[in-house]
Copies of this chain bind each other. A is one copy, B any other.
Amino acid sequence: MAKKLWGGRFNKKTDPLVEKFTKSNDCEIAEYDILGSIAHAEILKKCGYLTPVEANKLLVALSQIGAKRFKKDDSCEDVHTQIQNMVQEKVGDLALKLHTARSRNDQVVFATKLYCKTHIKLCEKFIDGLVSAIAKLAQKNKKVIIPGFTHLQHAQPVYLKDYFQVYIEMLERDKKRLEYISDNMTITLGAGALAGTPIPASNYNIAASKYVKELKKAGLKDLNIVTSNSLDAVSDRDFIIEFINALSILAMHLSRLAEDLIIWSTKEFDFVEIDEAFCTGSSLMPQKKNPDALELIRGNAGRLYGNLMSVLTMMKGLPLTYNRDMQLDKEPLFDSFEKVSLELKVLEGLIKTLKFNKSKIEEQLRDESLYATDMVYYLVDKKVPFKEAHAIVGRLVKYSINKGIAIQKMSQGDLKKFSGNFVKKDLINLFDPKISVKSKKSVKRK
């Protein structure tokens, strides 16, 4: 039977259903809680609650626990309790001193923030992986021009590399956003349950012993971890909402990439071929090669939003300071990280093996309507006011569609009916994707 970190005033045992219901699914923060316990042991030593010998015994024990893969003991209320119990197994009653002047309200924030910082770093690494794969794909196909889409309709020819660069822009914004969130996450100890502790603030500036070095590696830049408002320290979950929100925006970006590729890999578009390793088949239809990974990436956006909504709603109208509701921040956090990081890694592989069907793309580039805007600019260069030029070309396009005659096949006489400025031999040159993309000069690529 697992011991609890409380209970003296209780006459009764907790109802078994309540034990199950209130259990925290918090295994992911165990290693950070151990680091927090190490920091706390150092602090207790510094201020005299522990002798150096006692502190050392605890530090060794904690370090040993931390060195092994942590397995959650399901009979424990949470990892804080389990770690405390594990220390006790190793050092006996000395462990009873470790909990001096600390509270799980404070511990959980410390550990969760370290989790966030380290996992933001991981996210950034996975983003880099995908960005690099996209950049290589774009570079490899740097001369490919595709029909650009607005409203999923043919708009104007654009470079494929510029299309993919959009996703790099998104991902770079995501990374920057994550960095900001991590940089502004202040890690502290010493809030106690809510009111602070009797340990003087100066002790929360812990020296970098060999044990504490791990903390720096785990994302703690500054070892001055004193709190400036203990009530805020235990009440705040902004950092979790910010992280999940950033992951939601990231998931939204990936859902757009997924959608583009799903549409481009239809039989009708046939612009790309997704490698078989990233597809699955059908149990009934033997011909099927379905873009399942992309579909799940698209669908997971909903999951991420749900996680965000879950935590935002949970925090709505909570009185100060800590309330148990806040325990429900963890599953959505872990799940959001897991889903998005897997998406990034899957997409990296998928992008690396993506192939373009250039003949199909070129076929679509023959659509004359893609060059309508270029015809407008042609007229504008001949001093036709823009909106008038727009109307002229609009009528020309309509005529072409209604009569089923390509503009390039129209006689000079036909063209003149729309504008005296049209010169057939010049006009014909416009229907060239290369000329079209080169005529756009307003963009200054980074």
8 additional A-B residue pairs with CB within 8 Å, beyond A150-B234, A281-B394:
A12-B275, A101-B284, A162-B231, A228-B443, A256-B317, A286-B391, A287-B393, A299-B325
Q: Contact at B99–A387, with CB atoms within 8 Å?
A: yes
Copies in the complex: 4
Count A interface residues, CB 8 Å. 191
Contact of A319 among B15, B152, B343 (CB under 8 A): B152
For A309, what are the chain B residues with a Cβ–Cβ distance below 8 Å?
A: 302, 305-306, 309
A72 contacts B by Cβ under 8 Å: no
> Which of B193, B328, B332 interacts with A155 by CB under 8 Å?
B193
- Determine how close the nearest CB of chain B comes to the CB of A305; give it in whole angstroms: 5
Chain B residue nearest to A281 (CB atoms) is: B6
**Alpha-carbon separation in the docked complex, A436 to B194 (Å):** 13
- Which residues from B are CB-within-8-Å of A318? 256, 259
Is B387 a contact partner of A320 (Cβ separation < 8 A)? no
Tell me if A57 counts as interface (CB < 8 A to partner B). Answer: no
Judge whether B444 and A21 touch: CB under 8 Å. Answer: no
Quick one: given A232-B170, A443-B228, are A302 and B312 in contact (CB under 8 Å)?
Answer: yes
17 contacts between A and B (CB under 8 A): A9-B287, A99-B390, A151-B262, A151-B291, A153-B265, A155-B193, A158-B194, A169-B232, A198-B377, A238-B249, A281-B394, A284-B390, A299-B327, A301-B313, A302-B325, A305-B313, A313-B316
Q: Which single member of B105, B151, B293, B320 contacts A292 (CB below 8 Å)? A: B151
The answer to the question of A227 belonging to the interface, with a C-beta cut-off of 8 Å to chain B, is yes
CA distance A372 to B286 in the complex (A): 6
Which B residue sits closest to A269, measured CB to CB? Answer: B268
Question: Is the pair B96, A387 in contact by a Cβ cutoff of 8 Å?
Answer: yes
A399 nearest CB neighbor, chain B only:
B9
Q: Is the CB of A313 within 8 A of B322?
A: no
Cα separation A266 to B264 with both chains bound (whole Å): 11
Taking CB as reference atom, which chain B residue is nearest A291?
A: B151
Contact string against B for A residues 10-43, beta-carbon threshold 8 Å, 1 for contact and 0 otherwise: 1111110110111000000000000000000000
Residues of B within 8 A of A444 (CB): 201, 226-228
Which A289-330 residues have a C-beta within 8 angstroms of B?
289-293, 295-296, 298-303, 305-328
A443 in complex: contacting residue of B166, B229, B276, B281, CB < 8 Å: B229
CA A49 to CA B162, docked complex, whole Å: 27
Given contacts A152-B263, A266-B152, A321-B148, contact A392 B193 (CB under 8 A): no
Contact B345 A165, beta carbon cutoff 8 Å: no
The smallest C-beta distance from A99 to any residue of chain B, in angstroms, reads 5
Whether A285 sits at the interface, judged by CB under 8 Å, is: yes
User: Which residues of the other chain, B, contact A293 by a CB distance below 8 angstroms?
Assistant: 18, 21-22
Interface centre among A156, A282, A317, A332, by most B CB within 10 Å?
A317
Q: Is residue A219 contacting chain B, with contact meaning CB distance below 8 A?
A: no
| A88: min CB distance to chain B, Å | 9
B280 with A315: CB separation less than 8 A: no
- Say yes or no: A8 contacts B286, CB within 8 Å: yes
Closest CB-CB distance, A330 to chain B, in whole Å? Answer: 11
The stretch of A184-192, A408-416, A421-429 in contact with B is: A184-192
A153 B306 Cβ-Cβ under 8 A? no
Chain B residues within an 8 Å CB radius of A190 = 442-443
The yes or no answer to A70 lying at the interface (CB within 8 A) is no
Does A260 lie at the interface of the complex (its beta carbon under 8 Å from any beta carbon of B)?
yes
**Taking each of A196, A198, A248, A288, which has the highest tally of chain B beta carbons within 10 Å of its own beta carbon?**
A288
State the CA gap A49–B386 with chains docked (Å): 10
The docked-state distance in angstroms from the alpha carbon of A149 to that of B105 is: 12
